[in-house]
Amino acid sequence: MNKTRFGIFGCGVIAKTHAAVIKRIEDAELYACADISEKAALSFAENHSIKAFSSLDEMLESPDVDVISVCTPSGTHADIAIKILEADKNVILEKPMAIKTSDCDRIIEVAKKSKGKLTVISQMRTAPDIKKLKSLIDTGTLGKVLLVELNMNYYRDDEYYKGSWRGSKKMDGGGALMNQGIHGVDLIGYLVGKVAKVTSIVRTVAHDIEVEDMAVANLEFENGALGIITASTAVPPGFDRETKIYGTCGYAHLIETKLVRLIINGKEMPCEKFVSSGAATSNQFLDSSGHKRQIEDFIDVINGEELEYIDENEGKVPVELIERIYSSSI
Ligand SMILES: NC(=O)c1ccc[n+]([C@@H]2O[C@H](COP(=O)([O-])OP(=O)(O)OC[C@H]3O[C@@H](n4cnc5c(N)ncnc54)[C@H](O)[C@@H]3O)[C@@H](O)[C@H]2O)c1
């Protein structure tokens, strides 16, 4: 079988993870890159011994590119994804899918007509313990879910935001929730279901930025479960994400994507030790295993396998919930 050939658009921090992962996948070839900054594209191309295109348009014209990983600032995602889909190429879109629900809807409309497929990166969903927990919930092993606690109390220093698109309304769209917290918001939707009601308090308390660095939200899920979310980038030194799910027959405690405690019908189940990747304190992303699993699955989807994957409709769910949290803030 021919290798699936990848282009990367946007050559910053997360592009390095995409490049490293694509190079480790046997059926994939990292072929080219492009960036709004010619210097960034040329340097990335040199580091990876790949071609640098001068623009997205040039990359789209190339018959040698099958899939484009979009690794640009979040506020650019919608227009870029639409352009790629209109060219009938496949898209791996970094999270968030877009910074507004209405932009997600625009992508969904174009995707209906495109020969290209789209996946939104939500790498935590692919973790083995998340799959296990999903199955425990879906099979009723945990019983009826009654309560969910999601704490995402990260820390980012002033340097992280300084002179960057990060922290801006136009390009980040939000802060502790839309940027860092979206992974956890996506997970509780995936594991527990749709949210019926939301109330919240969303604030900027410790950084000179246009978006929130502190948020608390109360949720009521459609299935009756209640939930609480805390999200921050203002609490030093930063704490690993914790999710606790309480059911009528069991309890699950995740740190990031690792189950650290699981009780089923009163019995403690064995869990492995959690090792931190450091994501709570720095954006220098270390664990690339989730990206690898998701990109491998997406290659299979492009090649016609009927796999469940995180498509444009799934990608919209956490963006919509975060937007509801913002608009319900008192
Ligand atoms: N899945 C994850 O865990 C994860 C982790 C980090 C970042 N991200 C996401 O990846 C995206 C990029 O984040 P980053 O930290 O790599 O940012 P970055 O600032 O390090 O890199 C962005 C790159 O895009 C380029 N760029 C800027 N505007 C552009 C445009 N209009 N067209 C083309 N290129 C443009 C910049 O020159 C830069 O090279 C964001 O949406 C972010 O939310 C996801």
Look at ligand 1, atom 38, and give the residue with the nearest C-alpha: 12
Query: Regarding beta strands 51-52 and 28-34, do their DSSP bridges make them parallel or antiparallel, or are they unpaired?
Result: parallel
| CATH class given for the domain over 4-122 | alpha beta
- Cβ pair 259, 253 in contact under 8 A: yes
Residue from 17, 42, 72 to probe ligand 1 pocket by mutation (most atoms less than 8 Å from CB) = 72
For the Cβ of 7 lying below 6 angstroms from any atom of ligand 1, the answer is no
Closest-CA residue to 4 (of 266, 325, 302, 327): 302
pLDDT (0 to 100) of residue 281: 86
pLDDT (0 to 100) of residue 277: 80
User: Residue 19 gets which letter from DSSP?
Assistant: H
Fold annotation for 124-283+310-327: Dihydrodipicolinate Reductase; domain 2 (3.30.360)
Domain boundary assignment for the chain: 4-122, 124-283+310-327
144: left (phi over 0), alpha (psi -120 to 50) or beta: beta
Cα gap 74→57, rounded to integer Å: 19
Residue for token pair 């009521």:
220
pLDDT (0 to 100) of residue 283: 79
pLDDT (0 to 100) of residue 285: 58
Cα gap 276→286, rounded to integer Å: 10
Q: Which three-class secondary structure state does DSSP give residue 105? A: helix
176: left (phi over 0), alpha (psi -120 to 50) or beta: alpha
Cis peptide before 270 (omega within 30 of 0): no
Look at ligand 1, atom 32, and give the residue with the nearest C-alpha: 36
Cα gap 194→51, rounded to integer Å: 43
- Cβ pair 82, 114 in contact under 8 A: no
- Cβ pair 294, 119 in contact under 8 A: yes
pTM: 0.96
Instruction: Output the tens digit of pLDDT for each of the chain's 330 residues.
Output: 689 999 999 999 999 999 999 999 999 999 999 999 999 999 999 999 999 999 999 999 999 999 999 999 999 999 999 999 999 999 999 999 999 999 999 999 999 999 999 999 999 999 999 999 999 999 999 999 999 999 999 999 999 999 999 999 999 999 999 999 999 999 999 999 999 999 999 999 999 999 999 999 999 999 999 999 999 999 999 999 999 999 999 999 999 999 999 999 999 999 988 888 888 888 775 789 999 999 999 999 999 999 989 999 999 999 999 999 999 999
Cα gap 89→25, rounded to integer Å: 20
From ligand 1's centre to the CA of 35, what distance in Å? 10
* List of residues 6+ apart from 83 with CB closer than 8 A: 56, 60
Residue from 56, 71, 156 to probe ligand 1 pocket by mutation (most atoms less than 8 Å from CB) = 71
Kindly report the CA angle at 171 between 229 and 177, in degrees rounded to 5?
Answer: 5
